[in-house]
A and B are shown apart, each in its own frame.
Chain A
Amino acid sequence: MLRKHSLAVRWMHWINFPILFIMIWSGLLIYWADSIPYVGHIGAVYRIGWGSHTLVRLFPPAFWKAIDGQYQLAHGLGYHFFFMWIFAVNGLIYVLYLAISGEWRSLVPNRHSFGEAWRVTLHDLHLRRGLPPRSKYNGAQRIAYTLVVLMGVGALLSGFAIYKPTSLHWLTTAMGGYQMARLVHFWLALGFVVFFIVHVLQVAIAGWNNFRSIVSGYEIAPAASSREGKP
């Protein structure tokens, strides 16, 4: 029986989960107001293309209807500017906790992580047999979990750049301007969605023992070799 996740990490993980969803949902309500072609809103933020060529325009009208996301700008702003505090404070405490407790050592990628991540990816795609031996997190996990923390930092910075573009104009300018900050903020949010999907799939594949550990803190591992010789 191994202690895997500390109580603090478990609480912060489960607080973050619904808050992140509320932030993305309320963010969509805000972005809707800039995505209504029939009133001249071209919604430049969520289009994939180059120059004047648009390859894909995300979110057709049916999407907005499905999530009841139309004409909710004021509400979206209200929710976003309420829950942003919980999201930011929870994230900051998490980073501080990692730094102070030393747990960052098991999270931040090391020089082996990138090769290991490649082997893990091949294994998960059923192109390679056998997982490389790992500590708490394998290389792919280290990279993904560190990346998502950095994405949180980016979301916070671009969020402030959008929220106070006059008072914090140096930050907005550093982000490449107001519209660039909005673009970064939006694509980071989509990045969180992608992370979430992969994360949930991996957790489902990893099974109960792994999932249990983020709730109770413990997982079961084969007995250490020193105990194997016992009668």
Chain B
Amino acid sequence: MNSPKTQAEPPDKTQAELDQEVRRAIARETRRSFLLGGAAALAGIGAWEWLRHAPEIDQLKAPLRHAENWNAKLGSRLFGESAHAPTYPRSQATVLRVNNDVGLIDVAPGNWRLQVVGLDRPEQYPQFTPDVGLWDYQTGNQTGTSGISLFQGLNVMGGSSPANSGMTKTPGILLTMADILKLPHREMIVQFKCIEGWSQICQWEGARFSDFMKAYPPKRNPDGNLPKYVAMETPEGDFFSGYGMASLVHPQTLLCYRMAGVPLTPLHGAPLRLAMPLKYGYKQIKQIARITYTNHKPPDYWATQGYDWYGGL
């Protein structure tokens, strides 16, 4: 580098002639480079304009959506959803901020049921019912019914899970909190992270999802594998979230009924919610009313609002 460009310099050339030659040479190089650079800049601007005007998938530009899905695939392949989040002493735990209440309703105590769909031979359970969708979540302060619209969210959002088509019956079981409390009790103190950027250390108590699945195993696929996904939704289906199976069987994924040493409050998702340090808060669904094992990628409320479906940390 820094070596002078060797030019043919016959000894009979004057200094002025040599200068002239160099000026011509650099003008040629400069012209060439600026033309090429200009074309590259135009191509770049064109690509940017194309991206800015690309069609959207669930409120996100299609190329960005594809990139997020690709990132999710890469992330889960690379890390295998197996890392354990650091845990903290109880003295550092705080009371979680309430950030939104999408889908939460005022369920009357004792009226809450957890619908579980996609089980292996659901008839074997005493809690079996031929159509879990008929369960009527009565609100705490009035006598009206609210169960009719249970599937509304999934249908409006174009849910692809066959269990959610409103016309057919959805056989499954209806669990009570007593059933959940029979599962081994676990506690974890982990950092909760919101996609907005804030984070808090929280103490959670509940049952591991993997223990829940051991007690109520899904119908396996013909090849013997577990269903690929799990869908969850709130009582009226206004909030819904989907998960790859691997992230749910992680030992730090809990079906929670207590937070910060007290039973969950309604705004934190009483009586049952998800807590999982493997995902952002927007995937930690509150007031779970239905759990569906499925092979179809379930719709996700925040993914329909432009966020990443995966949300993995």
Whether A74 lies near B59 (C-beta < 8 A) is: yes
Q: Which of A115-123, A162-170, A188-196 contacts B (4 or more CB under 8 A)?
A: A162-170
Whether B5 lies near A34 (C-beta < 8 A) is: no
List, in ascending order, chain A residues with CB within 8 A of B143's CB: none
Assuming the contacts A1-B26, A74-B305, asked whether A103 and B1 have C-beta atoms less than 8 A apart, the reply is: yes
- In the complex, A220→B19 CA distance in Å? 10
List, in ascending order, chain A residues with CB within 8 A of B67's CB: 78, 81-82, 85
Asked whether A231 is an interface residue with its Cβ less than 8 Å from the other chain, the reply is yes
List, in ascending order, chain B residues with CB within 8 A of A224's CB: 4
Q: How far is the CB of A51 from chain B (nearest CB, A)?
A: 19
Interface residues of A in 125-174 (CB under 8 A from B): 135-136, 164-169, 173
- In the complex, A166→B75 CA distance in Å? 11
Asked whether A37 is an interface residue with its Cβ less than 8 Å from the other chain, the reply is no
Interface residues of B in 40-70 (CB under 8 A from A): 40-41, 44, 48, 59-61, 63-65, 67-68
Whether B86 lies near A217 (C-beta < 8 A) is: no
Whether A78 lies near B64 (C-beta < 8 A) is: yes
Whether B306 lies near A217 (C-beta < 8 A) is: no
What does the 1/0 interface line of A192-231 toward B look like (CB < 8 Å)? 0000000000000000000010011110100110010011
Asked whether B213 is an interface residue with its Cβ less than 8 Å from the other chain, the reply is no
Whether B85 lies near A77 (C-beta < 8 A) is: no
Q: How far is the CB of B170 from chain A (nearest CB, A)?
A: 32
Asked whether B223 is an interface residue with its Cβ less than 8 Å from the other chain, the reply is no
Asked whether B235 is an interface residue with its Cβ less than 8 Å from the other chain, the reply is no
Contact pick for B1, options A75, A82, A106, A215, CB 8 Å: A106
Assuming the contacts A74-B305, A167-B75, A167-B83, asked whether A215 and B2 have C-beta atoms less than 8 A apart, the reply is: no
Asked whether A60 is an interface residue with its Cβ less than 8 Å from the other chain, the reply is no
Whether A220 lies near B26 (C-beta < 8 A) is: yes
Most buried by A among B7, B48, B71, B197: B197
Most buried by B among A6, A41, A103, A166: A166
Asked whether A2 is an interface residue with its Cβ less than 8 Å from the other chain, the reply is yes
List, in ascending order, chain A residues with CB within 8 A of B180's CB: none
- In the complex, A45→B312 CA distance in Å? 23
Interface size in chain A (residues, C-beta < 8 A): 49
Which residue of the partner chain A has the closest CB to B34? Answer: A215
Whether B2 lies near A167 (C-beta < 8 A) is: no
List, in ascending order, chain A residues with CB within 8 A of B97's CB: 40
Interface residues of A in 169-193 (CB under 8 A from B): 169, 173, 178-179, 182
Asked whether A49 is an interface residue with its Cβ less than 8 Å from the other chain, the reply is no
Q: How far is the CB of A151 from chain B (nearest CB, A)?
A: 21
Q: How far is the CB of A45 from chain B (nearest CB, A)?
A: 7
Whether B34 lies near A216 (C-beta < 8 A) is: yes
Asked whether A3 is an interface residue with its Cβ less than 8 Å from the other chain, the reply is yes
List, in ascending order, chain B residues with CB within 8 A of A231's CB: 14
Which residues of B pack against A, CB within 8 Å? 1-5, 7, 11, 14-15, 18, 22-23, 25-26, 29-30, 32-34, 37, 40-41, 44, 48, 59-61, 63-65, 67-68, 71, 75, 78-79, 83-86, 97, 191, 193, 195-199, 277-278, 305-308, 312-313
21 contacts between A and B (CB under 8 A): A1-B25, A1-B26, A2-B2, A2-B5, A74-B307, A75-B61, A75-B306, A77-B307, A78-B68, A78-B306, A106-B2, A136-B2, A164-B75, A164-B312, A166-B85, A179-B199, A212-B26, A218-B5, A218-B30, A220-B23, A230-B11
Q: Which 5 A-B pairs have the closest CB atoms?
A: A74-B306, A34-B197, A78-B64, A216-B33, A167-B79
Which residues of A pack against B, CB within 8 Å? 1-4, 6, 10, 14, 18, 30-31, 33-34, 40-41, 45, 73-75, 77-79, 81-82, 85, 103, 106, 135-136, 164-169, 173, 178-179, 182, 212, 215-218, 220, 223-224, 227, 230-231
